[in-house]
Chain A
Amino acid sequence: MIEAINQILNGLQLGLVYALIALGYTMVYGIIRLINFAHGDVFMVGAFVAFLSTVDWHLPFWVAVPLSMLVCAVLGVTIERLAYRPLRYAARIAALISAIGVSLLIEYGGSLKFVFGPNYRVVPQPFSIVQWNFAGISVSNIQLIVLVTVVILLAGLQYLVTRTRIGKAMRAVSFDHDAARLMGINVDAIISYTFALGSALAAAGGVLYSTAYPQINPFMGIMPGLKAFTAAVLGGIGNIPGAMLGALIMGQVDVLSAAYISSQLRDAIAFTILILVLLVKPSGLLGKSGPEKV
């Protein structure tokens, strides 16, 4: 029983990090109906920028994190401008293929020797691990930091989307581009803004992830990216609370299947869930299914 609680806490930590990535997927999909394949790699870039800032450029941690979020926001906007905007009103698959291309570009470009290099880098701990034990339930300060950070970011995002003008504009654009344009909303700018926001969150996710699992390499974003995407679909793609819910569930599934079924089959289980969701309820847990227009 105690052990189960510990496993659930493990799943919570993982799920919270997935949430940060899943939010980016869901927001971008909501606004331009694109599965941004390259999002997992933005997460990787965030982790690397934070790593390079602290290790190579000797910046303090509290500077490195906002810096990496800023860099990734710029990266996200650039990707959108160069690789997705030309294809915005073309066939959906074309944009998806472009996204695949961007993802590969960031991964292999990142592994070039003069960029990040293909090797694994060990991330130094910004603070020492403290571990508390309450009657067999073990909690570490890393888990607490992840929890607090994600909750703050999430609250901020929710406020932004529901209470500000720009949030309203984002919701309008995700509803209908042309109608939003007619209302005087600069659709291009809002889309760029969405990308910036999603990428910044992914960067934060990257930093937190590398704190908990301190080994980074240019291909580290692939699996977490795919699992976070599964989470977004599970919760209802295009739906922000859905992404959060889906991520928490995926975190639990990932850890519990590793603990109680088989650690080697955890990836297979995660993707079986993806396929089942797509087949049974593609709109996800919190999404609404709309009719497909001919």
Chain B
Amino acid sequence: MNAKKFTTGLPLVLLLAALVFIVRELLGVTEILNYYWQLILDQSLIITTAAIGLSIIYGFAGQFSLGHAAFFGLGAYTAGLISKLLGHGNYAVFLLSLLAGAAVAGAVAFLIGLPILRLRSDYLGIATMGFGIIVKVLMDNSNKWIPATGGATGMTGVPQIAKFPVIFVVFLLAVLLFRNLRLSSFGRAWMAVREDEIAADAMGVDTTRTKTLAFVIGCALAGVAGALYAHRYPIVHPSSFDFLKSFDFLIIVVLGGLGSMSGTIATGISWVFLLEILRAVLGQNFLDFRGVIYALTLILVIILRPKGLLSGMEWQALIPREVPESGPSGSPSASPSAKGETPNVSA
């Protein structure tokens, strides 16, 4: 166990983050990056934060969840309601609402995860998808129990106080959390479960706890991303959280590379921008072709490069190689700590 690896490369990461932040603020102030593209950048960070959650659940722990958008929505509604009814624009309440969004999403994930995570991979996918649909139906009817949610017509009136700084900070924290978990024994346990659950069980890994932890953390990240979304977008509408939206996150994780953090992050950010550029290029026909492009991308990637584009590749500053120790507990320097592997759940 080498604690040094947690700090290796960290200064570089933080330096890059600070640079990005400064550049973006400059671009914003000088209006080179206009309001619309600022919105797109913020959206891409929010989507990527949620995608990191799914990457933990599926890319690393191998649990195929198709209901991710539901947790995103739960976070959005929770945080939105708190800010709308109690906060009225108060920044401290807003920050609390972010925590609340994550907490509620995580709690629901825990409750639903307990029975569901024992299911085999494809059944788990269907069950989580069904759960997602149930949540959406509940959102549509939510105004019967809490009128302020607006039900199927959507919730408006959430103070739009999430700006780039807080979104970027949350995103950065998500990345660092992801990184540290990945380097820790939890990360190794996840990958063991992903590769072969029965073997991991035989090796003494508490598979139930491992899977549940991944699921809860991943969904909590989706929840906090949703909370930010509610404070950045003028309307929170149930149709934004249907299972088609879950496929968005899935595409980012699959395309970026299962088991690759850097892949998920790079793909998540680029994906939103690529779509917007596509919208500008295709114009009127954009909406139709966007769906076709999604679909073809997914099919081609899964057939030709099923591990995803960047799987196995990590930015070294983010995920340093295991530093070898002297002594019997050390692992040889060739240990593949920086590689990710495909999920290979037994048929």
Chain A residues with CB under 8 Å of chain B are 33, 35, 83, 86-87, 90-94, 96-98, 100-105, 107-109, 111-113, 118, 226, 229-230, 233, 262, 264-265, 267-268, 271-272, 274-275, 278-279, 282, 292-294
CB atoms of B306 and A94 under 8 A apart: yes
A-B pairs with the 10 shortest C-beta distances?
A108-B291, A105-B295, A101-B298, A271-B130, A101-B299, A104-B295, A268-B137, A268-B134, A274-B130, A108-B292
Q: Would you call A267 and B133 a contact (CB within 8 A)?
A: yes
Give 15 pairs: A residue, B residue, CB < 8 Å, sorted on A. Answer: A91-B344, A92-B121, A92-B345, A98-B303, A101-B299, A105-B292, A107-B295, A111-B288, A113-B285, A113-B288, A267-B133, A271-B133, A271-B134, A279-B119, A279-B127
A268 touches B133 (CB 8 A): yes
Residues of A within 8 A of B306 (CB): 87, 90-91, 94
**Which of chain A's residues has its CB closest to B126's CB?**
A35
Interface of B toward A, CB cutoff 8 Å: 64, 115-116, 119-123, 125-127, 129-131, 133-134, 137-138, 140-141, 198, 247, 250, 254, 285, 287-292, 294-299, 302-303, 306, 342-347
- CB <8 Å contact, A87 and B303: yes
Tell me, rounded to whole Å, the shortest Cβ–Cβ distance linking B311 to chain A: 13
A33 contacts which chain B residues (CB < 8 A)? 347
Q: Is A100 within 8 A of B131, CB to CB?
A: no
Q: Roughly how many angstroms separate A92 CA and B122 CA in the complex, as a whole number?
A: 7
Q: What is the distance, in angstroms, from B285's C-beta to the closest C-beta of chain A?
A: 7
Question: Bound complex: CA of A233 vs CA of B119, how far in Å?
Answer: 14
Q: Which of A101, A229, A265 counts the most B-chain CB atoms under 10 A from its CB?
A: A101
- Give min CB distance, B278 to chain A, whole Å: 13
Contacts A97-B254, A233-B126 aside, 10 further interface pairs with beta carbons under 8 A come to A100-B298, A103-B295, A104-B294, A105-B299, A108-B290, A111-B288, A229-B126, A262-B141, A267-B133, A282-B119
Alpha-carbon separation in the docked complex, A142 to B289 (Å): 37
A97 in contact with B250 (CB, 8 Å): yes
A268–B134 Cα gap in the complex (Å)?
Answer: 4
CA of A229 to CA of B123 in the docked complex: distance in angstroms?
12
Residue of A at shortest CB range from B291?
Answer: A108
Chain A: minimal CB distance from B43 (Å): 21
Closest to A33 in B: B347
Give Cα distance in the complex from A107 to B297, angstroms.
15
Nearest Cβ distance between residue A246 and chain B, in whole angstroms?
A: 14
Residues of B within 8 A of A98 (CB): 298-299, 302-303
Closest to A280 in B: B115
- Complex: how many Å from CA A109 to CA B291? 8
Nearest residue in A to B342 (C-beta to C-beta)? A91
* Cβ contact within 8 Å between A102 and B299: yes
Are A271 and B198 in touch, CB under 8 angstroms? no
List A contacts of B303 (CB < 8 A): 83, 86-87, 98
